[in-house]
Chains A and B, each alone.
Chain A
Amino acid sequence: MKEPLWKTLTPGSVILEPGSSAKFKTGSWRSMRPRWIEENCIQCLFCWIYCPDMSVIVEDGKRKDFNYDYCKGCGICALECPGKKGNKAIVMEKEGG
């Protein structure tokens, strides 16, 4: 017989798996989508330090693409991106457009 749900809960509602929010993909909230234009990127990593959703992938100190599973499309990265010679390295586009 299947155990009832209430018997399977962790006592005191303690959550034992750190960072388990990763299972909840917030990318579907997005209505605008940031696009990275690599050639304009000066690797300043401002987009990384300002992203509220940890959705700018940086590997070994190098900026890579966005993590669209979680990016909510707020546009902070695009607004703060200095780009190269006035040309932004991030532009916001309509999601699915």
Chain B
Amino acid sequence: MTTIPLRLKEISRQEDRFAYGHRMCAGCGAPIVVKQVLMATDYPVIASNATGCLEVSSCISEYTAWKIPWIHSAFENAAATISGVEAMYRSLVRQGRIDDRQVKFIAFGGDGGTYDIGFQSLSGAMERGHDMLYICYDNEAYMNTGIQRSSATPFGANTTTCPAGDVIPGKPQNRKDLTKIMAAHNIPYAAQASPGHWMDLMKKVRKAFEIKGPKFINIIAPCNRGWRSRTDDAIMLSKLAVDTCYWPLYEIENGVTRITVRPREKKPVTDFLKGQGRFKHMFAPGNEWMIERAQEYVDREWERLQKEAACWAEDEEKTE
């Protein structure tokens, strides 16, 4: 069990497990996510990583930013790859060939490597029940190949494969709700987190590591290149995503939904959208319907989540 108190003064005493010298863009959200995830625990950790920005920028030629054992093999298989590592660990421990040092296994994947091409591999690993934590750092598009849309890209966003044009104004579809889908695997733990709420994020990682079996945490990871925003706003945007209920922070533990951070006041979704160039066209005259639709989607999903959480809260009251 990780016992260091979740106070920055205390956790800052730990050694970094993700080093500087990586080559992600200035102000990228992904390394903040990785650092917070690894800082949350003092268990030994082994990670796999899907092809994508994080992977190509963290391990190039003889330069690796990883201070933990790490493996990248391909784009669509971070979950299958780590499940092989975990299976070997279990086999060798069971045979008495290595000591059980309570090693924890993580797979890191971008939204493309998780929602799309790696979806099957992830679903399979979750169903098989490997003792692993899958972390999706969700920057809402294929950034490594130059900002193409993924099924995590929100409605209206301008990407290089769904550019906002004269006829089609950005991505026509809503995003896929992967966290919900992962929860539907009936895994013991699924959650959403944001690096702007580091304490909530770290608590979730800690909790996940105390649970045996497959766990999934979806973490919003702003990308200033793809979101067409500023290099200094990754944390601001990841907080606004929460405050607007665009990216609610919640967890589903053994089927029980709990909202972990409730915004003091729910801000309009435009607060999240307006600082990002990828949504600029939605603010143009004549496109008011786009903003309305984006707001409706957020409202509906937030309503649903609240009802779900309330239903469990009522249940708890009854049994108490």
Contacts and interface: CB of A to CB of B under 8 A. Distances in A.
A60 B13 contact: yes
Contact of A18 (B22, B67, B195, B232): B67
Contacts of A92: 232
Contact of B26 (A24, A72, A78): A72
A91 to B, nearest CB: 12
Contacts of A30: 26
SS class, residues of chain A in contact with chain B: loop
B88 interface: no
Nearest to A31: B26
Interface in B233-258: 233-236
Nearest to B23: A26
B74 interface: no
Interface stretch (B55-63, B175-183, B306-314): B55-63
Contacts of A54: 16, 18-20, 35
A44 B8 contact: yes
Interface in B32-88: 32, 35-36, 39, 58-59, 62-68
A79 B10 contact: no
Interface size class of A (residues with CB under 8 A): 35 or more
Nearest to A52: B31
Nearest to B224: A74
A96 interface: no
Contacts of A80: 235-236
Contacts of B66: 18-19
Given A29-B26, A50-B235, A75-B231, A70 B21 contact: yes
A22 interface: yes
Contacts of A67: 20
A79 B236 contact: yes
Contacts of B31: 52-53
Contacts of B29: 52
Given A49-B12, A52-B35, 19 more contacts: A18-B19, A19-B65, A19-B66, A20-B62, A21-B21, A26-B23, A29-B26, A49-B198, A50-B195, A50-B235, A51-B32, A52-B28, A61-B10, A61-B12, A72-B25, A74-B27, A75-B230, A76-B233, A80-B235
Q: Closest 7 interchain pairs by CB?
A: A75-B232, A21-B21, A74-B27, A72-B26, A70-B20, A19-B19, A45-B8
Interface of B: 8-10, 12-13, 16, 18-32, 35-36, 39, 58-59, 62-68, 195, 198, 230-236
14 contacts: A18-B19, A18-B64, A19-B64, A20-B62, A21-B64, A22-B19, A26-B20, A48-B12, A49-B39, A74-B234, A75-B230, A75-B231, A75-B232, A79-B235
